[in-house]
Structures are given as structure tokens and as C-alpha cells.
């Protein structure tokens, strides 16, 4: 089932809203894959609840995006009816769960980014974006306390746990550069006071990372070539497999209701 392409009145704004919707949507799907498989019951519940928080945030952004498209669009059609190249999520969140250490580091990197993003986007001249980000801020602040606390706990623990966390940091670091890459869409909207220029978030994000890693006795990896392209619809091989599972019901039974 492929949606019919419709040109929205404000392509830049739609593109930006979809970016804010797709990153938590895909991350929520990843986190809920842990349901019943986490190391202990408390973590199982925590990851699922964080995933549900992110899904709620995504729904708000998707509903807003649907209004930008116009008639015959809703959040479900946008969530489950697009092809892989039409998703605008960051590459970081589509990476496989791996072990708990990999999920934890991925979550910590994106949580620190989300706190700063929603703090800034809450000041947007676009009232919808500002309202969604203001509502989301309390949730992502909790997410950061959870993931940052576990990074410190495991990094400053046994030699084995520190080694595993450091391996995850080294593996996922190459996806963090995309968080702060500013393309023409974001630059134009930032100049209008609507979007956040992601470059302005890098220094405070790096400060959060440095302070947490100091307590966790972890090291910042040496600079490596960064991966990017997710915001433009260019994804890693992992997203297609995830979407095949996520969209199965809607594509098998289009517009089903129960």
C-alpha cells in the first residue's frame, strides 16, 4: 500500500515536523522490542514506558503533519503508509538494539539531544511545535535521568561492564554527528524562528556527555567519519526490516478497524 503523493502548502515545515515525528516513532518501536527480553523486570517496564512516551510524542507531531498535508491524511496513514525513503528519522535510532549496553548508550545519546531540542523548540514561533515540545520536555528529562544513571552505574562498575559500555560508545559514536547537521530546510526555518538550528545544541550536548562519561570513567572516541542522511530519507539497511514488521498489519489489511 503506497500513499498517493500530495504536495503540502509548506514543504519545509512539513519536512521538519516529520523529522520530529519519525525519530521518536522509530525509537519507540526499537525500545518496545525489549518487552519480555530485558535483563530484569524493572528495566523491562522502564524501556516499554519510555517507548510509550516517545510514541505519544510522535503521535502529536504526526497529527500536526497530517493537518499540513490536508484532507484524507491522519497520523496512522503517515506512520504506517509511507515507504522507507519517506521517513525522516535520525540514523542513530534505527540501529539494532544489540545488548542492553548498546540500547542504553543509544538512548543516552538521543536523550541528551532531545532534552536540549525540546527546551529550544519550546520557544518556537510555531505554536504547535512549541506546545508539543513543552509537553514533551518533562518526559525526555526523565528519560535522560534513566539512561544517564545507568551509563554511570555500568561504566563505573566492573571491568566487564565498563568494557561493554565503552564498546557501545565506540560503535555508535559515528551516528551522533547527524544530530547537529543543519541542512537548508532547518536553516531556513531557524531563520524564521520556527525550527532549532541543531548546530547550537552541540556544545551543551557535549557538556552533558563529558560530565556523564567522567563519572562513568568512559572515554570519548577519537573523531571518526560521521554517518548522516536519515533526515533526507537515506537510511541504513536496518530500517527496511523494521518497517516490514511495523507496517505488516496495515499493509495486509489497509484501513482496518476493530
pLDDT, one tens digit per residue, over 95-130 is 999 999 999 999 999 999 999 999 999 999 999 999
Mean model confidence pLDDT for the chain? 92
Q: Is the pLDDT of residue 3 over 60?
A: no
C-alpha 164/C-alpha 34 separation (Å) is: 18
C-alpha 207/C-alpha 112 separation (Å) is: 10
Q: How many CB atoms lie within 10 A of CB 25?
A: 24
Phi then psi dihedrals of residue 205, to 5 deg:
-65, -45
> What is the end-to-end Cα distance of the chain in Å, rounded?
19
| Long-range Cβ contact pairs of 76-81 (< 8 A, separation 24 or more) | 76/250, 77/3, 78/18, 78/21, 79/25, 80/246, 80/247, 80/250, 80/251, 81/1, 81/2, 81/3, 81/247, 81/250
252 — pLDDT class (breaks 50, 70, 90)? confident
| SS3 category, 89 | coil
pLDDT, position 72: 77
Reference 171, options 105, 216, 235, 217; nearest CA is 105
The C-alpha cell that represents 103 in the structure block: 540500547
- Contact criterion met (CB below 8 Å) for 26 and 87: yes
C-alpha 59/C-alpha 21 separation (Å) is: 7
The predicted-structure confidence for 52-107, as pLDDT tens digits, reads as follows 999 999 999 999 999 998 777 888 889 898 999 999 999 999 999 999 999 999 99
Query: Chain-centre distance of CA 228, in angstroms?
Result: 14
pLDDT, position 2: 45
pLDDT, position 29: 95
**Which pTM does this prediction carry?**
0.92
C-alpha 99/C-alpha 165 separation (Å) is: 10
Residue recorded with cell 539494532: 96
Reference 169, options 234, 94, 98, 240; nearest CA is 98
pLDDT, position 167: 97
Amino acid at each position: 500500500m503506497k500513499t498517493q503523493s500530495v504536495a503540502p502548502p509548506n514543504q519545509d515545515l512539513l519536512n521538519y515536523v516529520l523529522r520530529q515525528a519519525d525519530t521518536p516513532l522509530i525509537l519507540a518501536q526499537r525500545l518496545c522490542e525489549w518487552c519480555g527480553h530485558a535483563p530484569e523486570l524493572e528495566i523491562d517496564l522502564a524501556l516499554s514506558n519510555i517507548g510509550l512516551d516517545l510514541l505519544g510524542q510522535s503521535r502529536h507531531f504526526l497529527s500536526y503533519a497530517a493537518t499540513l498535508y490536508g484532507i484524507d491524511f491522519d497520523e496512522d496513514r503517515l506512520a504506517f503508509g509511507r515507504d522507507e525513503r519517506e521517513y525522516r528519522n535520525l540514523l542513530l535510532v534505527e540501529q539494532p538494539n544489540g545488548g542492553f549496553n548498546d540500547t542504553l548508550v543509544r538512548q543516552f545519546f538521543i536523550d541528551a539531544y532531545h532534552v536540549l531540542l525540546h527546551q529550544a523548540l519550546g520557544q518556537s514561533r510555531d505554536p504547535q511545535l512549541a506546545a508539543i515540545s513543552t509537553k514533551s520536555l518533562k518526559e525526555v528529562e526523565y528519560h535522560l535521568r534513566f539512561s544517564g544513571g545507568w551509563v554511570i552505574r555500568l561504566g563505573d562498575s566492573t571491568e566487564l561492564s565498563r568494557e561493554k559500555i565503552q564498546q557501545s560508545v565506540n560503535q555508535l559514536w559515528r551516528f551522533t554527528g547527524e544530530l547537529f547537521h543543519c541542512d537548508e530546510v532547518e536553516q531556513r526555518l531557524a531563520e524564521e524562528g520556527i525550527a532549532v538550528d541543531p548546530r547550537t545544541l552541540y556544545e551543551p550536548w557535549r557538556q552533558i556527555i563529558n560530565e556523564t562519561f567522567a563519572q562513568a570513567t568512559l572515554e570519548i572516541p577519537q573523531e571518526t567519519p560521521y554517518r548522516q542522511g536519515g533526515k533526507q530519507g537515506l537510511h541504513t539497511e536496518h530500517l527496511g526490516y523494521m518497517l516490514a514488521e511495523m507496517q505488516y498489519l496495515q499493509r495486509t489489511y489497509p484501513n482496518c478497524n476493530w
